């Protein structure tokens, strides 16, 4: 394999998206129970992570763009450090430390990643990771990191099956394999089956259309749909102006929530006819609404738009790095107070997007701006960023506990970067049958993100309590539920501590003759 590889146009766009106020680096932290064996950790990184050449390569500019070039002086000790947290080394100190790292650029003269192992006072050590988005998207990056883990503490079990072998990992990133080109001509599902590879050249495409005129109808349909999405993006109005939106500074804040049990979320979703993704997005909207109300802000009719990454990887992309996702703009109905009505509004909006070409279009736009001059890219991305307040991503993780260097992984967390002037990033990660919310904010806009994440559980518990209390026929009508609650003696539907949701959700499920088993793969995941 050559030591120099051309960077894809989409990855180039992410590389050039760095700004002092929003660095394009994914921040992650793995919280462990107990201490890691440092020697084993170092050996595991060498054997399982560094087999991916990207982590041993520099980014070098040439006359036609950027290339990945092997670092002749690569030294793992420049990327793996032991650090100390300020006393007492608890959650607050760890959050501040992570926030400072989020504002610290990676060294451009080295491969664009950095690991730090720190001792904490919250039960064990933490492995902090910074990785530049140009290397890979969240789905691929989580896969690489978790592939270093084992399913047993002694390492005798199998490694987490998150990535493929080195041959797949080192697959070509040349133009013929660039997801931008593939996606430009075949945005989604059925359109992909009717499309041709541009790598065969435009002349071959023309000859194929002449010989197969039926395909013209497919291309015309796709082209018309894409043209409609372009028009929607062009005329899309800005979302509501709130304290969450403004010109960000360099300083950040990070926070994370207590984990929610994933089976309980699935149980509630089964009863209400909503996906896990619908429930989580709705809970996020409710948490933001509650925060704004607590600040004394008017939330009547407020709509907050979130850019939601959509995973566009195919089975053959397993184990490959790079960025293979599009973006859809989701309006979060923050202005709706009724939790059921808010959930159903969120579900309806997600349903509308399922047949949309918007994700494919935004991936195509990233590919185009990656080939355009830098100032053109900034103008296009600033336009897209001006339409949204937040970036919100949902990444599925392993369904059972993992171990790294002899220590059990208790909580994996990550925070996504924001482009342009977007000042909020919401990250949702499932692991070991639990769901974790992470939030990164601009300090000027939201100096206290912990007050938002602390509300996520309460928003879900409102829905859980309604499922336990209300007849199934009434749950389909949020306004009927609201009227019924008003007729009852005053009682908050938000509880601080859930009333044993496993048994309760089971009773509700049997009472309504819902499905006896929940599909473990259900959930409408995004990337």
The string of pLDDT tens digits covering residues 249-277 is 999 999 999 999 999 999 999 999 999 99
For residue 413, tell me if it sits in a domain.
no
Q: Give the pLDDT confidence score for residue 363 in this predicted structure.
A: 72
Considering only residues 513 and 526, tell me which one the structure prediction assigns the higher pLDDT.
526
| pLDDT bracket for residue 407 (50, 70, 90) | very high
What residues form DSSP beta bridges with 307?
Answer: 329, 391
| pLDDT bracket for residue 211 (50, 70, 90) | low
| Residue 347 · residue 274 · CB < 8 Å | yes
What percentage of residues in the chain have a pLDDT greater than 90?
A: 46
Q: Give the pLDDT confidence score for residue 201 in this predicted structure.
A: 34
Q: Are residues 129 and 278 in the same domain?
A: no
For residue 127, tell me if it sits in a domain.
yes
- Pairwise CA distance, residues 515 & 267, whole Å: 9
| Residue 257 · residue 208 · CB < 8 Å | no
Q: Are residues 183 and 126 in the same domain?
A: no
For residue 486, tell me if it sits in a domain.
yes
Considering only residues 381 and 458, tell me which one the structure prediction assigns the higher pLDDT.
458
| Residue 241 · residue 411 · CB < 8 Å | no
Q: Give the pLDDT confidence score for residue 368 in this predicted structure.
A: 65
- Pairwise CA distance, residues 124 & 163, whole Å: 27
| Residue 138 · residue 527 · CB < 8 Å | yes
- Pairwise CA distance, residues 375 & 521, whole Å: 42
Q: How many CB atoms lie within 10 A of CB 205?
A: 17
Q: Which domain holds residue 217?
A: 177-235
The string of pLDDT tens digits covering residues 472-487 is 878 887 877 777 666 6
**Phi, psi dihedral angles at 12 (to 5 degrees):** -60, -40
Q: How many CB atoms lie within 10 A of CB 410?
A: 18
Q: Give the pLDDT confidence score for residue 338 in this predicted structure.
A: 92
Q: Give the pLDDT confidence score for residue 232 in this predicted structure.
A: 61
Q: Are residues 299 and 448 in the same domain?
A: yes
**Phi, psi dihedral angles at 448 (to 5 degrees):** -130, 65
* Choice among 64-78, 231-245, 277-291, 366-380 with the minimum mean pLDDT: 366-380
Would you say residue 379 has pLDDT above 50? yes
Would you say residue 408 has pLDDT above 60? yes
Query: 259 vs 288, 431, 493, CA distance in Å?
Result: 18, 9, 20
Going edge to edge, which strands form the sheet with 403-404?
A: 80-83, 113-119, 125-132, 25-33, 407-415, 403-404
Q: How large is the average pLDDT for residues 15-38?
A: 92
| Residue 300 · residue 146 · CB < 8 Å | no
For residue 116, tell me if it sits in a domain.
yes
Q: Are residues 218 and 262 in the same domain?
A: no
* Choice among 107-116, 156-165, 258-267, 312-321 with the minimum mean pLDDT: 156-165
Last residue of a domain, one of 169, 197, 213: 169
Would you say residue 148 has pLDDT above 70? yes
- Pairwise CA distance, residues 140 & 151, whole Å: 20
Q: How large is the average pLDDT for residues 101-130?
A: 95
Maximum distance among all alpha carbons in the chain?
A: 74
Here the tokens at position 142 are 């989580």
Q: Give the pLDDT confidence score for residue 510 in this predicted structure.
A: 37
Q: How many CB atoms lie within 10 A of CB 237?
A: 8
For residue 411, tell me if it sits in a domain.
no
| Residue 340 · residue 207 · CB < 8 Å | no
Query: 174 vs 6, 10, 72, 385, CA distance in Å?
Result: 6, 12, 22, 29
Would you say residue 192 has pLDDT above 80? no
Q: Give the pLDDT confidence score for residue 161 in this predicted structure.
A: 46
- Pairwise CA distance, residues 416 & 27, whole Å: 7
CA dihedral (318, 16, 359, 206) positive or negative: negative
What percentage of residues in the chain have a pLDDT greater than 70?
A: 73
- Pairwise CA distance, residues 429 & 383, whole Å: 29
Last residue of a domain, one of 152, 169, 186: 169
Q: How large is the average pLDDT for residues 371-377?
A: 71
Would you say residue 443 has pLDDT above 80? yes
Q: How large is the average pLDDT for residues 73-101?
A: 94
For residue 241, tell me if it sits in a domain.
no
| pLDDT bracket for residue 206 (50, 70, 90) | very low
Q: How large is the average pLDDT for residues 342-348?
A: 93
Place of tokens 């919100």: 392
Q: Are residues 307 and 215 in the same domain?
A: no
The string of pLDDT tens digits covering residues 219-229 is 455 445 445 54
Q: How large is the average pLDDT for residues 346-352?
A: 89
Domain count, the chain: 3
For residue 30, tell me if it sits in a domain.
yes
Here the tokens at position 188 are 């989604």
Q: Give the pLDDT confidence score for residue 10 in this predicted structure.
A: 86
Q: Are residues 273 and 339 in the same domain?
A: yes
Q: Are residues 222 and 269 in the same domain?
A: no
Q: Are residues 282 and 214 in the same domain?
A: no
- Pairwise CA distance, residues 332 & 286, whole Å: 9
For residue 327, tell me if it sits in a domain.
yes
Q: Are residues 219 and 151 in the same domain?
A: no
Last residue of a domain, one of 169, 194, 214: 169
Q: How do 424-431 and 407-415 pair as beta strands?
A: unpaired
Considering only residues 395 and 102, tell me which one the structure prediction assigns the higher pLDDT.
102
Q: Are residues 218 and 308 in the same domain?
A: no
**Phi, psi dihedral angles at 57 (to 5 degrees):** -120, 145
| pLDDT bracket for residue 505 (50, 70, 90) | very low
Over the chain, what is the mean pLDDT? 78
Q: Give the pLDDT confidence score for residue 386 in this predicted structure.
A: 77
| Residue 125 · residue 117 · CB < 8 Å | yes
Q: Can you spell out the DSSP letters for 122-178?
A: SSBEEEEEEEETTTB-HHHHHHHHHTT-BSSTTS-SPBP--S--HHHHT---SGGG-
* Choice among 80-89, 285-294, 304-313 with the minimum mean pLDDT: 304-313
* Choice among 62-76, 144-158, 321-335, 484-498 with the minimum mean pLDDT: 484-498
Q: Are residues 134 and 269 in the same domain?
A: no
- CB environment 146-182: b (16+ within 10 A), e (fewer): bbbbbbebebeeebbebbbeeeebbbebeeebbbbbb
Q: What is the CATH classification number for the domain harbouring 123? A: 3.30.559.10
The string of pLDDT tens digits covering residues 154-186 is 875 455 544 333 323 333 333 334 443 333 333
Q: Are residues 275 and 306 in the same domain?
A: yes
């Amino acid at each position: 394999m050559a030591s120099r590889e051309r960077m894809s146009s989409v990855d180039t766009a992410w590389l050039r998206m760095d700004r002092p106020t929003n660095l394009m680096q994914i921040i992650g932290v793995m919280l462990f129970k107990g201490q890691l064996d440092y020697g084993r950790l170092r050996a595991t990184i060498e054997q399982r992570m560094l087999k991916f050449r990207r982590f041993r390569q520099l980014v070098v500019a040439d006359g036609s763009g950027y290339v990945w070039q092997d670092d002749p002086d690569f030294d793992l000790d420049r990327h793996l450090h032991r650090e100390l947290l300020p006393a007492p080394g608890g959650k607050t100190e760890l959050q501040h430390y992570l926030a400072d790292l989020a504002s610290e650029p990676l060294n451009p003269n080295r491969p664009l990643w950095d690991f730090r192992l720190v001792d904490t006072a919250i039960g064990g050590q933490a492995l902090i990771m910074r990785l530049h988005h140009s290397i890979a998207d969240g789905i691929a990056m989580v896969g690489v990191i978790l592939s270093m883990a084992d399913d047993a503490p002694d390492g005798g079990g199998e490694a987490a099956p998150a990535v493929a072998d080195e041959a797949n990992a080192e697959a070509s990133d040349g133009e013929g394999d660039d997801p931008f080109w593939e996606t430009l001509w075949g945005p989604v599902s059925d359109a992909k089956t009717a499309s041709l590879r541009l790598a065969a050249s435009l002349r071959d495409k023309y000859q194929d259309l002449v010989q197969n005129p039926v395909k013209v109808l497919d291309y015309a349909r796709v082209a018309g749909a894409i043209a409609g999405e372009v028009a929607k993006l062009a005329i899309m109005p800005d979302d509501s102006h709130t304290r969450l939106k403004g010109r960000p500074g360099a300083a950040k804040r990070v926070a994370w929530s207590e984990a929610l049990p994933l089976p309980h979320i699935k149980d509630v979703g089964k009863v209400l006819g909503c996906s896990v993704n619908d429930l989580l997005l709705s809970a996020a909207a409710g948490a933001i609404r509650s925060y704004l109300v607590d600040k004394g802000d008017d939330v009547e009719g407020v709509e907050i738009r979130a850019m939601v990454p959509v995973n566009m990887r195919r089975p053959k992309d397993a184990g490959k790095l790079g960025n293979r996702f599009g973006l859809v703009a989701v309006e979060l109905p923050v202005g709706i107070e009724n939790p059921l009505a808010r959930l159903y509004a969120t579900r309806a909006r997600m349903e509308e997007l399922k047949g949309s070409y918007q994700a494919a279009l935004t991936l195509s736009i990233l590919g185009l701006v990656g080939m355009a001059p830098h100032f053109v890219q900034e103008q296009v991305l600033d336009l897209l960023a001006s339409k949204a307040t937040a970036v919100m991503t949902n990444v599925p993780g392993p369904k059972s506990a993992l171990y790294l260097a002899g220590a059990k992984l208790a909580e994996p967390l990550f925070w996504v970067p924001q482009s342009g002037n977007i000042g909020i990033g919401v990250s949702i990660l499932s692991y070991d049958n639990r769901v974790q919310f992470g939030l990164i904010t601009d300090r000027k806009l939201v100096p206290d993100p912990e007050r938002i994440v602390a509300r996520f559980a309460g928003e879900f518990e409102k829905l859980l309590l309604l499922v336990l209390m209300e007849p199934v026929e009434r749950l389909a009508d949020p306004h009927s539920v609201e009227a019924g609650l008003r007729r009852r003696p005053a009682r908050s539907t938000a509880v601080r501590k859930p009333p044993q949701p496993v048994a309760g959700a089971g009773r509700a499920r049997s009472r309504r003759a819902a499905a006896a088993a929940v599909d473990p793969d259900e959930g409408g995941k995004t990337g």
